[in-house]
Amino acid sequence: MDAQNHDPDSEQAPGRKAHSGPPPGETPPGEGGLSGAGPRETHNPTKGWSVAPLTALLVVVALFVAFFLTYAIWIAVGGIG
């Protein structure tokens, strides 16, 4: 099995001279990072849930618990006749 060198010969590569780097302007500039990617966020709440959604959730949970507790008591006292 022959080992092949997959690197191009520096003498035959376009834009290259023997034993020198690429000519100016051929190498792309370095990346600037991702700080400018995407839209600018103007509203980013840092605190948890607001009062209204939390209150609504608690009311729904309380109604759910009350319904099943009432149903369990009704079944226990022989409500189905």
- In this predicted model, what pLDDT tens digit does every residue of 22-76 receive, in sequence order? 667 776 666 666 666 677 777 766 677 788 889 999 999 999 999 999 999 998 8
**DSSP one-letter code for 75:** H
Judged against a pLDDT cut of 60, whether residue 7 lies above it is answered with no
Contact assessment for residue 9 and residue 15, using Cβ atoms and an 8 Å cutoff: no
pTM above 0.85, yes or no: no
In three-state secondary structure terms, 55 is helix
Look up residue 61 and give its two tokens: 């949970």
Contact assessment for residue 43 and residue 50, using Cβ atoms and an 8 Å cutoff: no
pLDDT value, residue 70: 94
pLDDT value, residue 50: 82
**DSSP one-letter code for 28:** P
